[in-house]
Chain A
Amino acid sequence: KAGVTQTPRYLIKTRGQQVTLSCSPISGHRSVSWYQQTPGQGLQFLFEYFSETQRNKGNFPGRFSGRQFSNSRSEMNVSTLELGDSALYLCASSFRASGRIDEQFFGPGTRLTVL
């Protein structure tokens, strides 16, 4: 079974631009979560989507947004990029909608550099 895929793998942007990152979950997985990883803050939760609905959101400004399509693929968008947005953006997919345990499997990430 193919794992979580993310595109692009690397991206260089300048301040003020916007960026869109894409994530394709493991086949059959319906939940997609996004995380930001930086050396200073570690891994931080951005948001989670299930059946095209955002169910949970982390403490990030409104410049960070996302969506999920009917095939469970997800995109996240960052507008008006700032230098501090430079990070590894990770997508994770999981299978069950509810229940006590839902293992999340991470994709390889998109390395975003803002100049």
Chain B
Amino acid sequence: QKEVEQNSGPLSVPEGAIASLNCTYSDRGSQSFFWYRQYSGKSPELIMFIYSNGDKEDGRFTAQLNKASQYVSLLIRDSQPSDSATYLCAGDTGFQKLVFGTGTRLLVSP
């Protein structure tokens, strides 16, 4: 079992809809979680991080963390075609060691 699991997708949503990306983790030692966006052929770009239970909002993005269920999610409101990318969830296990999921491919259709 991988330490961080994501559905590979693709997740297809129409423009303007809410995209919901999910991630589960097995290492209870992970304290903080990161969402990265990666366009094809590019390096990962940090969207946001979360370390407290609950929701954290940043513009069109909302990260949610539930430590009891070992579950992290990312909501993208008003999805745009430019949001089409692979979204990577990562847990920090200490000393900057991020453990990544395999990523969920998001497709936003006009």
Contact = CB atoms under 8 A, between A and B. Distances in A.
Instruction: Give the secondary structure class of A's interface.
Output: strand
A76 interface: no
A28 interface: no
Contact size class for B? Answer: 20 to 34
Interface string B99-110: 111110000000
A58 interface: yes
A101 B98 CA distance: 12
A100 B45 contact: no
Which of under 10, 10 to 19, 20 to 34, or 35 or more describes the interface residues of A? 20 to 34
Interface string B12-54: 0000000000000000000110101000001111100101000
B51 A94 contact: no
A31 B96 contact: yes
Given A48-B97, A104-B34, 19 more contacts: A42-B102, A43-B98, A44-B100, A45-B99, A50-B96, A55-B95, A55-B96, A56-B95, A94-B96, A100-B31, A100-B51, A101-B49, A103-B34, A104-B96, A105-B46, A106-B36, A106-B43, A108-B43, A109-B43
